[in-house]
Amino acid sequence: MVIAEKERAEIMPETAPAPSGGVWAWLLQRVSAAVLLFFLGAHIWVLHYAAHGERIRLDAVMDRLRSPFFAVVDTLLLATVIFHALNGIRMVLFDFGLSRGAQRTLTALLWLFGLLAFIYGTNTLLYLTTGGPLFYLRSG
């Protein structure tokens, strides 16, 4: 006898679908993971092998970022990794079983944090590539 998924979920809660946050979250997590395999590998490779054995110095970094290829790749890497990381956090927290309101709030907070982190990182990248960032941050 076929019973509806909802009824079965009431009788056997362990068969309820995992509340991890929807199909897009699942799919984009995989897509960003595949993209990251490439970008992150390139990032580690370039940083540790391009000038093997030498200390990392600012002028070497700026030289590398002068080429538009690296600047674009680094920015895309930043966006993809922030998305993958925060989407992962979202999935882990959703699995604790949050209410609808909590889910919406959490998603909004994660988007906000992600956008701020991306703007912060891109600002630094802009400074390194063109010398003209969106905003200056003096520290040290």
Partner 1 sequence: MDEIRSFSRVNRHIDTWPLNYRLGMWAWLLQRITGLALVVYLFMHIFVISSAVWREGGGSFDRVLEHLQSPMFIAADLLLLAAVVFHSVNGVRILLFDLGIGVRTAKVYFWLLMAVAAALVFWGVFEALPFILGTGLREPLVGV
What is the token pair recorded at 109? Answer: 């907070």
For residue 67, give the DSSP letter.
S
- Cα–Cα distance, 66 to 13 (Å, whole number): 56
- Cα–Cα distance, 25 to 93 (Å, whole number): 13
Sequence-distant (≥ 6) Cβ neighbours of residue 39 within 8 angstroms: 73, 76, 77, 80, 81
Q: How far is the CB of 28 from partner 1 (least distance, A)?
A: 13
- Cβ distance to partner 1 smaller for residue 72 or 92: 92
- Cβ distance to partner 1 smaller for residue 46 or 127: 127
- Cβ distance to partner 1 smaller for residue 16 or 109: 16
Q: How far is the CB of 91 from partner 1 (least distance, A)?
A: 9
Q: How far is the CB of 35 from partner 1 (least distance, A)?
A: 12
Q: How far is the CB of 108 from partner 1 (least distance, A)?
A: 18
Q: What is the largest CA-CA distance in the chain?
A: 71
- Cβ distance to partner 1 smaller for residue 8 or 57: 57
- Cα–Cα distance, 75 to 77 (Å, whole number): 5
Residues that bind partner 1 (CB under 8 A): 13-14, 16, 30, 33-34, 37, 40, 48, 51, 53-58, 60, 78, 81-82, 85-86, 88-89, 92, 95-97, 117, 120-121, 123-124, 127-128, 136-140
